[in-house]
């Protein structure tokens, strides 16, 4: 019996033993005189079982029918077998016009073996780092190699620029693999769209930091370009330190892969052309309002020549014969008044 039914039982026992009047019992139960008399007669005839709700164990009036349930499960098996209940409910509504609750679908998928609840995760031993307050104050950058196109295309890498204050995707770009040139292209797209942020936050990949132990004042090609643009580069000591972009990749490896499957994307070029629409929807759903509404992005100056800055630079010495060596090649300069002055 429920707590409510047990409370009714106590009142009806007192009423039957004449320790309560009908009016007092009605006040305690919140019922009228007629209902109190009805319950007393039923209690006298059937005992405590008369107070148990007759609806218990019966299907509710708003329960989905078996045909609807089988239709939903057949669609999930056909199109959304590896989708979570939340995303599957969204797609059933968007693509098929079928609406139901997330928890309802979760229970159906568990019963059919299509979904297993995740175990409770252990608490993270890493101290949380507070978000930056302003848009453009810190932008986390990273790349994730994954079978983004599944079996429809080659394994590739997704470069992501995620704002720390808002969790918004600022730039997404599919590339064959992580390289300085691809980061140059992605950074150029960022700068031309949003402006210059205060700092980038990355891992210790050799694109961002010199890792050969020599240290000193040496910087990478990417670091040199950011220095010319007056943008700081911070290298995290652990993946957990740049948790915004790491968690974004966790979501993208689930949602983005499935969205591209539904859209029929099968090449890196098609994926890059399709990404802006996905980013707008992602940011509308997962982006958050910054603590401070000030935008710290700075506009590009006339002196910020991206063609010159976002380029690979190597230093070489010109010989007296106006030659120089680079990449196992000897380059011969044409003798002109300008090149003659470059010797040594």
228, 222 in Cβ contact below 8 A? Answer: no
Question: Which of 254, 197, 203 shows the shortest CA–CA distance to 226?
Answer: 197
For residue 159, give both structure tokens: 């470069």
Question: Which of 86, 43, 92, 50 shows the shortest CA–CA distance to 71?
Answer: 92
Residue 222: exposed, middle, or buried by beta-carbon count in 10 A (0-12, 13-18, 19+)?
A: buried
Which pLDDT band holds residue 124 (cuts at 50, 70, 90)?
low
Q: What is the pTM of this model?
A: 0.70
The pLDDT assigned to 49 comes to 75
Which range in 208-217, 242-251, 277-286, 323-332 is most confidently predicted, on average pLDDT? 277-286
Total Cβ atoms within 10 A of residue 69? 17
Question: DSSP secondary-structure letter at 163?
Answer: E
pLDDT tens figures, 83-114? 999 999 999 999 999 999 999 999 999 899 88
What's the CA gap between 96 and 72, in Å, rounded? 10
Higher pLDDT among residues 38 and 165, named by residue: 165
The pLDDT assigned to 29 comes to 82
β-bridge mates for residue 139, sequence order:
163, 200
pLDDT exceeds cutoff 80 at 219: yes
Mean pLDDT of the 143-158 span: 94
pLDDT tens figures, 28-61? 888 888 988 888 888 888 887 777 766 666 666 7
């Amino acid at each position: 019996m429920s707590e409510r039914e047990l409370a009714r039982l106590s009142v009806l026992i007192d009423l039957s033993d004449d320790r309560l009047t009908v009016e007092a019992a009605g006040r305690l139960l919140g019922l009228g005189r007629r209902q109190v008399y009805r319950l007393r007669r039923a209690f006298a005839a059937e005992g405590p079982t008369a107070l148990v709700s007759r609806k218990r164990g019966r299907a509710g009036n708003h329960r989905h029918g078996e045909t609807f349930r089988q239709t939903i499960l057949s669609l999930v098996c056909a199109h959304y077998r590896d989708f979570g209940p939340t995303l599957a409910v969204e797609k059933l509504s968007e693509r098929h016009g079928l609406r139901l609750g997330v928890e309802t679908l979760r229970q159906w998928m568990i019963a059919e073996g299509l979904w297993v609840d995740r175990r409770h995760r252990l608490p993270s031993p890493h101290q949380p780092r507070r978000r930056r307050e302003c848009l453009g104050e810190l932008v986390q950058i990273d790349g994730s190699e994954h079978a983004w196109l599944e079996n429809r295309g080659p394994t590739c890498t997704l470069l992501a620029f995620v704002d720390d204050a808002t969790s918004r995707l600022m730039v997404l770009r599919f590339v064959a693999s992580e390289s300085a040139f691809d980061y140059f292209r992605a950074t150029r797209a960022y700068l031309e769209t949003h402006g210059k942020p205060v700092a980038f936050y990355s891992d210790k990949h050799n694109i961002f930091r010199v890792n050969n132990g020599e240290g000193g004042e040496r910087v990478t090609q990417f670091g040199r370009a950011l220095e010319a643009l007056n943008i700081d580069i911070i290298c995290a000591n652990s993946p957990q330190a740049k948790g915004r972009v790491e968690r974004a990749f966790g979501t993208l490896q689930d949602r983005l892969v499935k969205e591209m499957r539904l859209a029929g994307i099968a090449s890196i070029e098609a994926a890059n052309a399709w990404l802006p629409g996905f980013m707008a929807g992602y940011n509308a759903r997962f982006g958050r309002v910054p603590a401070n509404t000030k935008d710290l992005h700075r506009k590009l100056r006339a002196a910020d020549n991206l063609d010159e800055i976002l380029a690979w630079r190597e230093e070489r010495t010109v010989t007296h014969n106006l030659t120089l060596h680079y990449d196992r090649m000897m380059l011969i300069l044409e003798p002109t008044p300008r090149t003659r002055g470059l010797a040594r």
